[in-house]
Amino acid sequence: MIAIIDYGMGNLRSVQKAFEKVGADARIVTGPEMIAAADKVVLPGVGAFRDAIEHLRRQGFVEPIGEAIAAGKPFLGICLGLQLLFDVSYEDGEYRGLGVIPGEVVRFDFRQIPAAQGFKIPHMGWNAVEWDRPCPLMRGLDSGEYFYFVHSYYVVPRDPAASFGLCDYGVRFTAMAWRDNLYATQFHPEKSQRAGLTILQNFTEL
């Protein structure tokens, strides 16, 4: 069973429906005790970092998330779910994240980049993601595949090895993080048609 964490923020049903489309048993869970019973865990999210981390802490999800990752369960963060895994976000202030991946979450800033003048924030739409090494989540896909993005902030891992997929939008940023059993995407697989469903299928089969 794949547990999709419901902490009051995120397009949970669309994520669940996408998993169901590839034949996965994906369930929206509202209690932290249900994570221990899951084979795999998904942390989705749409909205403000501050509110999201506050909800996760209030609902008791922080420790079970850490335990699931440490136990080696396949874990997938999506969009805000990627950003929450990092140490700190500077979205409308400074807020501590889950600290699973060392690094920070920063806002797109094109003021000092002449070539990026005219780029809109948020970054919204289809963009290519490139990678240079095999990854179980990307089986059957080629580097340069297009995925759907909606975000104004992006992650900056402290360890370059944690950065897997890269995307160009004014700057070259981390579109996907990967470490052992931990996978996370800034883009939305559930909105990325064939390529996104391939990722969810691969995650299901891990």
Any catalytic annotation for residue 55?
no
Q: Which helix (H) or strand (E) holds 153?
A: strand 153-157
Q: Which helix (H) or strand (E) holds 182?
A: strand 182-185
Print the domain residue range for 198: 2-205
Q: Which of 91, 104, 123, 188 is catalytic?
A: 188
Any catalytic annotation for residue 151?
no
- Sorting pLDDT into bands at 50, 70 and 90, what band is 115? confident
Q: Which two tokens stand for residue 196?
A: 């996104």
- What tens digit of pLDDT does each residue of 167-202 get? 999 999 999 999 999 999 999 999 999 999 999 999
- Look at the chain and report how many structural domains it folds into: 1
> What percentage of the chain has pLDDT greater than the value 90?
93
| Residue 11 predicted with pLDDT over 90 | no
- What tens digit of pLDDT does each residue of 29-54 get? 999 999 999 999 999 988 899 999 99
Q: Is there a contact between 131 and 118 (Cβ–Cβ < 8 Å)?
A: no
Q: Which of 91, 104, 145, 190 is catalytic?
A: 190
Any catalytic annotation for residue 135?
no
Instruction: Give me the CATH number covering residue 189.
Output: 3.40.50.880
Q: Which of 79, 91, 151, 167 is catalytic?
A: 79
The reported pLDDT for the residue numbered 116 is: 85
CA–CA gap between residue 120 and residue 45 (Å, rounded): 22
CA–CA gap between residue 193 and residue 41 (Å, rounded): 21
Q: Which two tokens stand for residue 182?
A: 């931990």
